[in-house]
Structure 1
Amino acid sequence: MKIQIIAFFLFCYGYSQNITKKTVDVLVIGGSTSGTSAGIASSRLGANTLIVEESPWIGGMFTLQGVGACDGNHNLDSGIWNEFRGALREYYGGAAALETGWVSNTLFEPSVGNKIFNQIAAKEKNLQIIHGYYVASILKVGNAVKGATFKNDKNEILEVQAKITIDATDIGETLKMAGAAYRLGMDSQKETKEANAPLKANNIVQDLTWVAILKDYGKGTDKTIAKPSNYSASNFIGSCMETVDHKEIDCDKMLSYGKLPNNKYMINWPKKGNDIYLDVVELSREDRNKELLKARNYTLQFVYYIQNELGYKNLGLADDEFNTSDLLAYAPYYREGRRVKGISFLTYNHVADPYNQKDALYKTGISVGDYPVDHHHKQNPDAPDLGFPAVPSYNVPLGSLIPEKIDGFIVSDKAISVSNLINGATRLQPVVLLTGQAAGTLAGVAIKNQVEPRKVSVREVQQSLLNQKAYIMPLYDVKPTDPAFESIQKISATGILKTKGESYKWANRTWFYPEKNISVQEFTEGLNQFDKKNKVVKSTSILTEQEAVDLLVKAGAKIKKGNFSAKPINKRDLAVLIEESLHAFEKEIDFSGSIKTNKK
């Protein structure tokens, strides 16, 4: 009788809790920048996919966090990033219509970004999005994640069973819940071998920002907000003096940094602006939200300073962007949080010098970026100065998305397995959007093949991304419109034909030089690193088509006899010839970039 009474009360409790249960192939926790693209990508591959997002919007940094100014990837026309940008250009009337501020080539209203992401997502019959729920716990069986439970402000519960779960939160919110090992803060030089890393590790993460969008309400209007609590003008004196790269500016120039279409202004200013250091990552959700009120207040102080001290009373908080009580963004712009310990670990050295590392992670690339290593630490006097170490454009390795030991679990956004230093580059919006696309693709491939993410074929995931018109190599000078684009992407990802990286201002580059000729020695060195049985021929003579054919046949290529020219062959044609005859990209590789052998 006693047991029956307990069972009855447990039943009543569960009923009163209003638990909704769902079962899907892929669960995406967070409709962030990467969560949105992950959900779209996995659903396009046929996986029944659910995104659960706390706020009313999807799109993360681009939208609900208010950062409607894209950092980087202007010349990397890759995947969902290119699809999204193309839709923005169509909406506003061309690429030039997005060049409204000087910080970026692509600026837009966050509400428009949300609208476009929803239009793209709505086309996917396998994708569902649920708003208003935050993650409460991870469901696990043994060492495998099996989904998650969520709650809303009404204390209603959503329980989702999933074959694969993707953490797409900005700060790696579920890593600890899932039992996945992770890093937090700055790594030491001893661990990463990065010259710019501090000598000792610490737990300092980057400053965060609660973004505001201002709107010009017209000359003569006064949209000055009430004076915020704790207001101190001294916090912001100097905001109009110079940029982060020490260029002198005036206040008009400072504000036009993030000028958006329709006379709006993104307020996300790093120097004597509204960046703030808060140590919130390891706090409970309740305590974190309390602490984050300081960020909202600090941004309102800066808005008041702009209006009252600088005289821009006509610039008021936009009333047609965020439906929040203070009209600020729905969520803070986090630059960093927990970073999973993955089966690959990308460091600055892999990016700066990809060909001279113990593991050839560039061969396993799944998303691309070209923005510099950009860290925000001006609000924390204890933070070491990491500088702006030079990098070329780069790719993110597939193994950075997969935890060392936890199954059924993929990590995206800023929580991937990278060093603190290189996170300053991999955290930017377009590359995060592409990393999300790769996370969704990895999930889709794993579901299709009924294997754990760590058991997928690296090349199959990369091929799927290429099929989606996404880059796996960060090539500046070979566009998707080039007929040889896919061949060049594949062969440069084998290392047979090398690229040349260049640190260039705020848009770094990696060159393939498709019209260039190479020497016999350079070609045979590439073949040798691919397979040591291929001998290096020490000849500086320019490689001809016939010589390329002869060397490829020796390497095991299948080429029909024909009349091959004694003229030099350029790298574009050589890539196509290698791809069609040697099928080098079809050789399976592991997550370190090494060719797999049949040995157990």
Structure 2
Amino acid sequence: MTTRELTTDVLIVGAGLGGVAAALAAADRGAQVILTEEYEWIGGQLTSQAVPPDEHPWVEEFGITARYRALRDGIRDVYRRRYPLIDDARRIDALNPGAGWVSKLCSEPRIAVGVLEEMLAPHRSTGRIRFLARRRPVAATAEGDRVTSVTLSSEIGEDDVTVRAGYVLDATETGELLPLAGIEYVTGFESRAETGEPSAPEVAQPANIQALSICFAVEHVDGGHTIAKPADYDFWREYMPSAWQGERMLSWTAPNPRTLELSTREFGPNPGDDALAVDADQSRNAGDSNLWIFRRIAARDLFESGFYQSDICLVNWPSIDYFLAPVLDEPRDVELEHYAAARQLSQSMLYWMQTEAPRPDGGTGFPGLRLRPDIMGSDDGLAQAPYHRESRRIRALTTITENDVSYEIRGDAGATRYDDSVGVGMYRIDLHPSTGGDTYIDVASTPFEIPLGALIPQRVTNLLAANKNIGTTHITNGCYRLHPVEWNIGEAAGHLAALCVAEGTTPHEVHADAARLAAYQAELDATGVERHWPEGRVYAY
């Protein structure tokens, strides 16, 4: 194998939501960009990981960037132009094609891929953005406090590529550039002595990391569609993690994240609910009592009769959370072994549903459940990529702690307000069971801001975090890891990198100089980045 060398202004490694947003922002400001992605689809959480967007209740009014709103509008536009919606659905401004309760916009992942590709297309046509597909970072070099190059291997047998760039953005799902480039970072739980967080343990637990999940989509149609019995099914069928309090994980029963009491959910395919009446607002209704409709991504009743044979249900439930062992900082072969085990867990849950799951009519098994590989863009019907809830996190200029966002601590004063704010977000602190044996941690939060200092490493001067690898703690990662926040982080990082290229400065210098910071923030304002929440509103979540 040989290695090609490329040079660019800004290298963005990872084309999830943060990476795509960063590429758009940097290119719009005039920088030359190379964007890379390991998996077949761009879009990360929303596409290759197949996770419908986790968003706050006010997303249709405010609290997201203009570019993120354009993405959401673009998805709806595809359905209105190309799909046979019934008239009542077509007339809804806030169209929710899946009528899922988890989000006001549940849709098929491939639609989002197309819209994201369309958003990038003009810059790719001019060459301002060059996209390197199916590439994973495997090495990096540094000189002093600067990253000088990143080497990317091909997942499809092409030559390695080494990219030299003025600025590097780590937009990977797990902060993969940080160990490669020798950048200081944190994993797992920090100690309470370090962060002062009431939900933190007394002693740091760096290997205690939230579950990852391999999602999949199913429909329910006539016939038998039972998959072959997974090799690890017998293990997973009997597995009873401590958080399940003596119940099997493969079941309709799981801990309630807020009370930790066991709760049994409903499951019944194509329930005939009123899809037009779905009001996806988790501040009023958590919505997860019915698993079929919670993350439904296609509601057949919103379309002309016969267009969809069935609703399409996205499975991202507690029963597929994989937390046997961490994957961060493990050798690549061990990491892949855990991904394979997580895929076995997801397949085992499907097999259990098809063969043993209790039905509302008193019977067992739903053999009519059928995987939709075409919806996932994969051969086996599972998501292309694992859904990582937690990443390596930079040692940042600013670290956001539970004390900055917890409603119990902050109350009506709201979250910490930052002079260097580059965006906003909102979600409860939602931590899934973890590799250390912990159950859910669920803490009410307040609408929060994204400080620029959380995107900037303490030491390295030309790398920015552009995903869930910013300066949060294990606890606050639980509310800063969601789709619109990741997008906002990437957008702010991409814009800043382009500014630094144009003006010959560094992120540290912009952050430290009030005039430069204000000018940068004014540019963000002009592009539609909301940096503070509207005043005079009552926020209850």
Q: TM-score range by the shorter chain?
A: 0.7 to 0.9
1:531 maps to which residue?
none
Residues 99 and 105 of structure 1 are in contact (CA less than 8 Å); yes or no, is this contact kept in structure 2?
no
**Deviation at residue 155 of structure 1 after TM alignment:** 5.8
2:429 maps to which residue?
373
Give the counterpart of 1:254 among 278, 284, 291: 291
1:443 maps to which residue?
497
Matched, 1:391 2:445: yes
**Deviation at residue 275 of structure 1 after TM alignment:** 4.2
2:274 maps to which residue?
none
Residues 307 and 313 of structure 1 are in contact (CA less than 8 Å); yes or no, is this contact kept in structure 2?
yes
Question: How far apart, CA to CA, are the structure 2 residues paired with 1:386 and 1:209?
Answer: 15
Specify whether residues 401 and 415 from structure 1 end up closer, same or farther in structure 2 by C-alpha distance, changes over 3 A only: same
Matched, 1:214 2:218: yes
1:329 maps to which residue?
383
1:513 maps to which residue?
none
2:20 maps to which residue?
36
Give the counterpart of 1:84 among 71, 76, 79: 71
1:178 maps to which residue?
181
Residues 276 and 298 of structure 1 are in contact (CA less than 8 Å); yes or no, is this contact kept in structure 2?
no
Alignment of 1:557-572 (within 5 A): none
1:494 maps to which residue?
none
1:300 maps to which residue?
347
Specify whether residues 155 and 129 from structure 1 end up closer, same or farther in structure 2 by C-alpha distance, changes over 3 A only: closer
Specify whether residues 71 and 222 from structure 1 end up closer, same or farther in structure 2 by C-alpha distance, changes over 3 A only: farther
Residues 375 and 424 of structure 1 are in contact (CA less than 8 Å); yes or no, is this contact kept in structure 2?
yes
**Deviation at residue 136 of structure 1 after TM alignment:** 1.3
Residues 107 and 260 of structure 1 are in contact (CA less than 8 Å); yes or no, is this contact kept in structure 2?
yes
Deviations 1:531-570 (A, max 9, x none): xxxxxxxxxxxxxxxxxxxxxxxxxxxxxxxxxxxxxxxx
1:108 maps to a residue whose letter is: S
1:257 maps to a residue whose letter is: F
Deviations 1:145-171 (A, max 9, x none): 123111114261111110000000111
Question: How far apart, CA to CA, are the structure 1 residues paired with 2:488 and 2:381?
Answer: 29
> Scaled by the length of structure 1, what TM-score is found?
0.72
Specify whether residues 242 and 452 from structure 1 end up closer, same or farther in structure 2 by C-alpha distance, changes over 3 A only: closer
Question: How far apart, CA to CA, are the structure 1 residues paired with 2:66 and 2:336?
Answer: 34
Residues 416 and 449 of structure 2 are in contact (CA less than 8 Å); yes or no, is this contact kept in structure 1?
no
Question: How far apart, CA to CA, are the structure 2 residues paired with 1:399 and 1:290?
Answer: 36
% same residue: 26
Which 5+ residue runs of structure 1 have no aligned equivalent? 1-16, 478-498, 506-600
Matched, 1:137 2:196: no
Matched, 1:106 2:102: no
Alignment of 1:312-351 (within 5 A): 312-351=366-405
Specify whether residues 329 and 360 from structure 1 end up closer, same or farther in structure 2 by C-alpha distance, changes over 3 A only: closer
Matched, 1:201 2:204: yes
Specify whether residues 215 and 360 from structure 1 end up closer, same or farther in structure 2 by C-alpha distance, changes over 3 A only: closer
1:269 maps to which residue?
317
Specify whether residues 345 and 381 from structure 1 end up closer, same or farther in structure 2 by C-alpha distance, changes over 3 A only: closer
Specify whether residues 180 and 380 from structure 1 end up closer, same or farther in structure 2 by C-alpha distance, changes over 3 A only: closer
Question: How far apart, CA to CA, are the structure 1 residues paired with 2:353 and 2:440?
Answer: 30
Question: How far apart, CA to CA, are the structure 1 residues paired with 2:137 and 2:432?
Answer: 28
Query: Structure 1 residues 95-104 or 397-406, which shifts more?
Result: 95-104
Specify whether residues 60 and 459 from structure 1 end up closer, same or farther in structure 2 by C-alpha distance, changes over 3 A only: same
Q: Secondary structure at the match of 1:366?
A: strand
Q: Secondary structure at the match of 1:367?
A: strand
Residues 64 and 488 of structure 2 are in contact (CA less than 8 Å); yes or no, is this contact kept in structure 1?
no
2:252 maps to which residue?
239
Paired residue total: 460
Specify whether residues 501 and 142 from structure 1 end up closer, same or farther in structure 2 by C-alpha distance, changes over 3 A only: farther
Q: Secondary structure at the match of 2:168?
A: strand
Which 5+ residue runs of structure 2 have no aligned equivalent? 81-92, 239-247, 269-289, 299-307, 358-364, 511-515
**Deviation at residue 406 of structure 1 after TM alignment:** 0.7
Question: How far apart, CA to CA, are the structure 2 residues paired with 1:240 and 1:287?
Answer: 30
1:449 maps to a residue whose letter is: E
1:286 maps to which residue?
333
2:285 maps to which residue?
none
> Scaled by the length of structure 2, what TM-score is found?
0.80
Residues 49 and 387 of structure 2 are in contact (CA less than 8 Å); yes or no, is this contact kept in structure 1?
yes
Deviations 1:210-263 (A, max 9, x none): 1112234x2x22221111012143444442577545665311321221100252
Question: How far apart, CA to CA, are the structure 2 residues paired with 1:182 and 1:241?
Answer: 33
Alignment of 1:105-124 (within 5 A): 105-124=104-123
2:169 maps to which residue?
166
Residues 189 and 200 of structure 1 are in contact (CA less than 8 Å); yes or no, is this contact kept in structure 2?
yes
Residues 185 and 393 of structure 2 are in contact (CA less than 8 Å); yes or no, is this contact kept in structure 1?
yes
1:454 maps to a residue whose letter is: H
Matched, 1:382 2:437: yes
2:244 maps to which residue?
none
Decide which structure has the larger Cα Rg and report it: 1
Query: Structure 1 residues 116-125 or 330-339, which shifts more?
Result: 116-125
2:27 maps to a residue whose letter is: S
Question: How far apart, CA to CA, are the structure 1 residues paired with 2:163 and 2:320?
Answer: 41
Residues 168 and 413 of structure 1 are in contact (CA less than 8 Å); yes or no, is this contact kept in structure 2?
yes
1:339 maps to a residue whose letter is: R
1:464 maps to a residue whose letter is: E
Deviations 1:347-390 (A, max 9, x none): 12222467999x9652211122111000001x64632x563222
1:265 maps to a residue whose letter is: C
Residues 70 and 106 of structure 1 are in contact (CA less than 8 Å); yes or no, is this contact kept in structure 2?
no
Q: Secondary structure at the match of 2:405?
A: helix
Alignment of 1:339-488 (within 5 A): 339-352=393-406, 362-377=418-433, 380=435, 382-383=437-438, 387-456=441-510, 457-475=516-534
1:81 maps to a residue whose letter is: Y
Specify whether residues 227 and 423 from structure 1 end up closer, same or farther in structure 2 by C-alpha distance, changes over 3 A only: same
1:250 maps to a residue whose letter is: E
Matched, 1:47 2:31: yes
1:199 maps to a residue whose letter is: E
Residues 373 and 379 of structure 2 are in contact (CA less than 8 Å); yes or no, is this contact kept in structure 1?
no
Specify whether residues 360 and 224 from structure 1 end up closer, same or farther in structure 2 by C-alpha distance, changes over 3 A only: closer
Q: Secondary structure at the match of 1:294?
A: helix
Residues 214 and 266 of structure 1 are in contact (CA less than 8 Å); yes or no, is this contact kept in structure 2?
yes
2:153 maps to which residue?
151
**Deviation at residue 92 of structure 1 after TM alignment:** 2.2
1:229 maps to which residue?
231
Q: Secondary structure at the match of 1:87?
A: helix
Residues 79 and 434 of structure 1 are in contact (CA less than 8 Å); yes or no, is this contact kept in structure 2?
no
Question: How far apart, CA to CA, are the structure 2 residues paired with 1:447 and 1:431?
Answer: 24
Residues 96 and 107 of structure 2 are in contact (CA less than 8 Å); yes or no, is this contact kept in structure 1?
no
**Deviation at residue 118 of structure 1 after TM alignment:** 0.6
1:25 maps to which residue?
9
